[in-house]
């Protein structure tokens, strides 16, 4: 088994952090309907490093990268230190660990679903704690439904905006890098074939089921009192605007994920 020199591990971690910081900052002004929580397709960068070069490279690089991007975006590190930094480290460390020396595409899909769920839930909880502690913009504690809805809603927003990039873009990047960095990429990754091994029906279900869940929540937020319960904790932000954004987010993302999942299920070979 190839063992990377420590100098190479440090170099890869720094490169991961720098690329992730740049990628995250580029889309950092695209935010969730709640006005916090960034659109972040750049998660494919630490995912790639975690899978190809190990959990420490992926986790530490992701933590440093998101901290740098947050510093550039907000001018202070506290929000990231309470949310994105620990969540990114844990998420990409776990991803690297789950796939270390035992990579295959079905395991990649399963690990991605677990990691995006757990890490984003941790990050959303950290955001809640930050605003509870430092910001008068929000009134937390007045409505348990709002608190739960905010955490789960922000988690869901990150999940559905990250999942397509993770499942569609990361495999292509992995196979591209296998050719470029063949000598330091794990054999289990190099030997996995996208064409022959990708479990397309499992892939399709991993998109379809979250998509249906998003559509259900979107419909409930539109036609029942759930939508208003999700915004009752806002003190300053325009509630109707936030509610419109929440409805559009769930219905739009649900429709896209469901459509992609159905296409894969209908035309998948496995």
- pLDDT beyond 60 at 3: yes
User: According to the model, what pLDDT value does residue 138 have?
Assistant: 61
CA geometry: angle at 202 spanning 193 and 55, to 5°? 60
Length reported for the chain: 270
Rg of the chain taking only CA atoms, in angstroms: 19
Judge whether 44 and 173 are in contact, CB under 8 Å. Answer: yes
CA separation (Å) from 214 to 5, 47, 121, 132, 155? 45, 24, 16, 27, 12
Give residues with Cβ within 8 angstroms of 134, minimum separation 6.
78
The mean pLDDT value for 94-103 works out to 93
| Residue with more model confidence, 118 or 233 | 118
Q: What would the pLDDT profile of 28-69 be if each residue is shown by its tens digit?
A: 998 887 778 889 999 999 999 999 999 999 999 999 999 999
- pLDDT beyond 90 at 196: no
Q: Which residues of 133-158 are buried (b: 16+ CB within 10 A; e: fewer)?
A: eeeeebebeebeebeebbbebbbbbb
In terms of average pLDDT, the best of 12-21, 147-156, 238-247 is 12-21
| Residue with more model confidence, 85 or 236 | 85
Judge whether 206 and 262 are in contact, CB under 8 Å. Answer: no
CATH fold, domain 6-267, is Arp2/3 complex 21 kDa subunit ARPC3 (1.10.1760)
User: According to the model, what pLDDT value does residue 107 have?
Assistant: 92
The mean pLDDT value for 106-125 works out to 94
CA separation (Å) from 191 to 166, 201, 235? 20, 21, 54
User: According to the model, what pLDDT value does residue 184 have?
Assistant: 79
Phi, then psi, of 31 in degrees rounded to 5: -115, 165
Q: Which helix (H) or strand (E) holds 130?
A: helix 105-134
User: According to the model, what pLDDT value does residue 136 have?
Assistant: 58
Sign of CA dihedral 189, 193, 199, 203: positive
């Amino acid at each position: 088994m190839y063992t990377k020199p420590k100098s190479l591990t440090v170099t890869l971690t720094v490169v991961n952090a720098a690329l992730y910081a740049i990628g995250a900052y580029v889309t950092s002004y695209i935010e969730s309907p709640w006005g916090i929580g960034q659109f972040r397709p750049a998660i494919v960068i630490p995912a790639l490093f975690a899978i190809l070069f190990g959990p420490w490279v992926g986790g530490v690089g992701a933590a440093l990268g998101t901290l740098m991007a947050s510093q550039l975006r907000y001018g202070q590190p506290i929000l990231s230190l309470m949310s994105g930094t620990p969540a990114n480290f844990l998420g990409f460390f776990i991803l690297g660990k789950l796939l270390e020396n035992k990579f295959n595409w079905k395991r990649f899909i399963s690990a991605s679903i677990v990691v995006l769920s757990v890490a984003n839930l941790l990050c959303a909880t950290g955001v809640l704690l930050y605003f509870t502690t430092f910001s008068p913009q929000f009134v937390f504690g007045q409505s348990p439904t709002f608190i739960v809805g905010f955490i789960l809603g922000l988690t869901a927003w990150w999940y559905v905006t990250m999942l397509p990039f993770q499942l569609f873009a990361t495999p292509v990047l992995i196979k591209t890098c296998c050719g470029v960095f063949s000598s330091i990429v794990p054999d289990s990754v190099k030997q996995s074939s996208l064409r022959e091994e990708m479990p397309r029906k499992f892939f399709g279900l991993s998109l379809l089921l979250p998509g249906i869940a998003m559509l259900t929540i979107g419909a409930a937020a539109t036609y029942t009192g759930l939508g208003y319960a999700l915004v009752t904790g806002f003190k300053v932000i325009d509630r109707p605007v936030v509610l419109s954004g929440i409805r559009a987010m769930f219905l739009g993302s649900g429709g896209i994920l469901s459509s992609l999942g159905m296409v894969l299920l209908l035309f998948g070979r496995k």
